[in-house]
């Protein structure tokens, strides 16, 4: 009986078991298929064994490296190596998002890419060849070991995280595989099917570009600018998405969202070719999945075909995986493969399983070791002897050990610049160039299509527009320029949005590009994540800011990390439109007047735009779309609901809050760079600087007019961008008067004003400062909202207080 399963014990047991297998009764050629009519040849079964062995040895190496302080990751795949058969049943161009126990899958995918996984009709040697130190399995081992030791040469994250990923393997890194990647998989499936139907899939043999960009006609690099971005997919038209996860993850809200969305769309007749693979070892660290629960949960998902296989039996795992993949590929519909596995050596290096598992249970799992099952198959079928497999295991072990020693000496990330290099690159010159090129297209080759889309009356001839009308027109121009742009969310299509911001877009561009989604923000963002990485330019809408908070990890943990953890090899460009902030008259309460943006400002690399005026909204949206195309940026376009239809500034009927929509010839000149503020001078503009954004801009301009009547001159600074903050503009304008009033419609704690004050201090500002902010309260219903929100009176009084110091 086992008291625990240690690396040494697992190795000893496996070696002893191989030694005891002996010789087959009859030797067979490796090119022959299994005698029982199974779909595998001997060479393929041996290749699966090689992948499983490599994965197992990497687990042992991870513990060894950790033992002397040189390894930083010990979650392994021991017991889950049956997923090698799943990889073998798929095409190597099927994009994969992998669970952290899918190591053998990754090894097979690397071997397939290197040409080391045999096709069924290719002649092979009679006896197993010696492992090649430069084959695909060794390459996979080097990739994984580099991740374990945080080597800067690791091919996907470059030492930032240990993940499975490589662009040439179509393996997309997932930073947290507790189901948070499943909504992205659904979005990828939806995007792949759309691109397949419109002919946007990659040509056979074409180069795989940087994901999230266009496929150039000659293959290769992604275009830095241009209207064709998002027009094609990095993967072939018949590709399916595969997404693996653990059994405990079926209980996670994001898994529920993904399954529900896939089934919902299938129910409506929209096809999503996704194969979910649940690797079920019965445990979530120490918490057991109740017997039968996972199967019952997966079987009950409407619209998702259920397949099940024993992951410790390579023949059955391959056969069922092949059936599942073939079904998804043929029908373009979602399915789940429930792969039963065991877990060996615990959850991770520090996990003592004896605290929650009995010796008998550990012994039973060790007896179901999938490596041993594959070895027994190879010997029983006559493809190898136990001695040959043991020698193969040892030779691969020495390879892994040598590679581990080599990667120890590789450089680590050694400076902030190295760490942040791929977080969120900003190339403002290229973005401005992209805007100028879009303008040239709108005025030139696309002029006729533009005139038709706007019914012969382009927005620049429609007279002054409201904020909502300006955003609507800019969205239309963006969709005209970028054929891969899709606008979606709750009520955005037929209704045109709750506030009419997307009105008419579906009629102009069709239901394939402007469509309603189910009511689930996690799924809306997941669709955007998948569409972006598949080569489209998604513009999802979150109906209210308050609704974003239950799904914010899709932005924080998935969207914003993609470039960071793939060194830019993958990206998910997107512009998320969010209706938010307070001051709606006669409507709402907290959920429709949410003034909390702290959760967004905390996300590294995220661009946050808050357009206050119509004449800023369109150029800011163009800048976000261009940043998504050029840099793969993830942008949140936070639209103040209370200003959507506002027309007046100082007095009823003055139309002071309307704005002209620039003609394409003026787009370049009126471009609004990301991270640049706008300054208004009121009176002498010499006495006080008011720094604000959103609704605060209109209130501050009104307050400044009141102050001007008192002889006080103000300069009102509209931040426009909450991330990155326009720090240079903030410090310059504050220093111009020596008195700065920060008007923050969010909350005092965690609000934007804290960031502005910090920027002033860091920038060396030495003048006086005062802050007017919303209270640390949710926004109540009706007139009571005025008690917690910033008012014009509070702004004027704050300025007077500041000047009295």
Q: Pick the closest to residue 508 from 468, 480, 470 (CA basis).
A: 480
Place of tokens 């996670």: 252
DSSP secondary structure of 759-781? HHHHTT--SEEEEEEE-SS---S
* Gap between the Cα atoms of 43 and 707, Å rounded: 84
Q: Are 635 and 611 in contact (CB under 8 A)?
A: no
Place of tokens 């002897």: 385
Q: Which residues lie below 8 Å from residue 119, measured CB to CB, with a gap of 6+?
A: none
The catalytic position among 482, 592, 645, 671 is 592
490-523: burial string, b at 16+ Cβ within 10 Å, e else? bbbbeebbbbebbeebbebbeeebbbebeebbbb
Q: Pick the closest to residue 283 from 368, 367, 364, 341 (CA basis).
A: 341
Place of tokens 């005891």: 20
Residue 514 pairs with which residues in a beta bridge? 487
* Gap between the Cα atoms of 382 and 490, Å rounded: 59
* Gap between the Cα atoms of 368 and 316, Å rounded: 14
Write a three-state SS string for 485-534.
EEEEECCCCCCCCCCCCCCCHHHHHCCCCEEECCCCHHHHHHHHHHHHHC
297-317: burial string, b at 16+ Cβ within 10 Å, e else? bbeebebbbebbbbbbbbbbb
* Gap between the Cα atoms of 546 and 525, Å rounded: 15
**Beta strands 721-723 and 607-609, pairing class:** antiparallel
Q: Are 411 and 151 in contact (CB under 8 A)?
A: yes
* Gap between the Cα atoms of 630 and 642, Å rounded: 32
Known catalytic residue: 645? no
Helical H runs in 632-751? 695-709, 727-737
End-to-end CA distance of the chain: 79
Q: Pick the closest to residue 30 from 298, 385, 300 (CA basis).
A: 385
Residues identified as active-site: 592
């Amino acid at each position: 009986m086992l008291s625990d399963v240690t690396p040494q014990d697992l190795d000893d047991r496996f070696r002893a078991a191989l030694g005891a297998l002996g010789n087959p009764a009859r030797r067979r050629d490796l090119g022959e298929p299994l005698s029982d009519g199974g779909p595998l040849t001997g060479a393929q079964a041996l290749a699966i064994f090689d992948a499983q062995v490599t994965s197992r040895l990497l687990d042992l190496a991870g513990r060894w490296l950790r033992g002397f302080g040189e390894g930083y990751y010990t979650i392994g795949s021991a017991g889950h190596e049956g997923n090698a058969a799943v990889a073998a049943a798929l095409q190597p161009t099927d994009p994969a998002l992998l669970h952290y126990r899918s190591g053998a899958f990754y090894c097979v995918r690397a071997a397939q890419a290197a040409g080391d996984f045999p096709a069924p009709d290719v002649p092979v040697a009679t006896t197993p060849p010696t492992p090649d130190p430069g084959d695909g399995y060794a390459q996979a081992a080097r990739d994984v070991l580099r991740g374990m030791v945080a080597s800067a040469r690791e091919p996907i994250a470059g030492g930032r995280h240990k993940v499975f990923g490589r662009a040439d393997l179509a393996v997309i890194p997932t930073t947290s595989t507790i189901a948070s990647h499943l909504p992205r998989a659904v979005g990828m499936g939806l995007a792949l099917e759309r691109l397949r139907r419109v002919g946007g899939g990659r040509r056979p043999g074409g180069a795989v570009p940087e994901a999230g960009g266009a496929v150039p006609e000659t293959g290769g690099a992604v275009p830095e600018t241009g209207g064709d971005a998002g027009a094609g997919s990095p993967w072939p038209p018949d590709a399916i998405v595969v997404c693996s996860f653990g059994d405990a993850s079926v209980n996670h809200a994001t898994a529920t969202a993904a399954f529900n969305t896939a089934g919902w769309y299938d129910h409506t007749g929209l096809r999503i070719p996704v194969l979910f693979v649940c690797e079920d070892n019965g445990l979530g660290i120490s918490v057991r999945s109740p017997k039968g629960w996972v199967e019952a949960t997966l079987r009950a998902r409407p619209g998702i075909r259920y397949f099940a296989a024993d992951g410790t039996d390579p023949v059955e795992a391959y056969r069922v995986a092949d059936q599942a993949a073939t079904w998804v590929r043929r029908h373009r519909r979602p399915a789940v493969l429930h792969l039963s596995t065991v877990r060996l050596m615990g959850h991770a290096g520090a996990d003592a399983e004896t605290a929650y598992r009995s010796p008998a249970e550990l012994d039973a799992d060790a007896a179901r070791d999938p490596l041993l099952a594959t070895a027994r198959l190879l010997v029983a079928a006559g493809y190898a002897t136990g001695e040959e497999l043991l020698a193969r295991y040892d030779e691969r072990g020495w390879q892994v050990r040598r590679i581990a020693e080599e990667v120890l000496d590789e450089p680590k990330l050694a400076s902030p610049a190295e760490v942040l290099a791929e977080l969120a690159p900003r190339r403002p010159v290229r973005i401005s160039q992209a805007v100028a090129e879009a303008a040239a297209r709108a005025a030139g080759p696309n002029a006729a299509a533009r005139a038709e889309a706007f019914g012969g009356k382009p927005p620049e001839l429609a007279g002054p527009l409201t904020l909502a009308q300006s955003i609507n027109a800019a969205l239309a121009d963006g969709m005209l320029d970028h054929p891969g742009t899709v606008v979606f969310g709750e009520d955005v299509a037929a209704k045109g949005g709750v506030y009419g911001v997307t009105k008419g877009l579906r009629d102009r561009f069709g239901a394939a590009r402007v469509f309603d989604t189910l009511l689930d923000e996690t799924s809306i963002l997941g669709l955007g994540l998948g569409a972006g990485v598949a080569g489209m330019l998604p513009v999802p809408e979150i109906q209210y800011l308050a609704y974003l908070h239950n799904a914010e990890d899709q932005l924080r943990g998935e969207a914003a990390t993609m470039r960071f953890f793939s060194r830019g090899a993958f990206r998910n460009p997107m512009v998320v439109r969010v209706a938010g902030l307070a001051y709606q008259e006669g409507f709402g309460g907290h959920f429709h007047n949410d003034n909390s943006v702290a959760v967004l400002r905390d996300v590294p690399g995220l661009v946050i735009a808050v357009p206050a005026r119509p004449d800023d909204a369109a150029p800011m949206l163009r800048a976000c779309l261009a940043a998504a195309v050029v840099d793969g940026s993830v942008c949140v376009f936070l639209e103040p609901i209370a200003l959507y239809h506002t027309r007046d500034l100082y007095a009823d009927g003055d139309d002071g809050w309307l704005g002209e929509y620039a003609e394409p010839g003026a787009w370049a000149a009126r471009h609004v760079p990301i991270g640049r503020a706008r300054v208004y001078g009121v009176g002498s503009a010499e006495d006080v600087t008011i720094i604000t954004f959103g609704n605060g801009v209109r209130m501050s301009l009104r307050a400044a007019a009141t102050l001007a009547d008192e002889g006080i001159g103000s300069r009102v600074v509209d931040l426009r961008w909450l991330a990155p903050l326009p720090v240079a503009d903030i410090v310059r304008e504050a220093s111009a008067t020596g008195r700065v009033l920060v008007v923050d419609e969010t909350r005092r704690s965690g609000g934007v004003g804290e960031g502005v004050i910090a920027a002033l201090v860091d920038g060396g500002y030495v003048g006086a400062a005062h802050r007017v902010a919303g209270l640390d309260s949710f926004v109540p219903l009706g007139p009571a909202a005025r008690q917690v929100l910033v008012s014009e009176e509070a702004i004027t009084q704050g300025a007077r207080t500041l000047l009295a110091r």
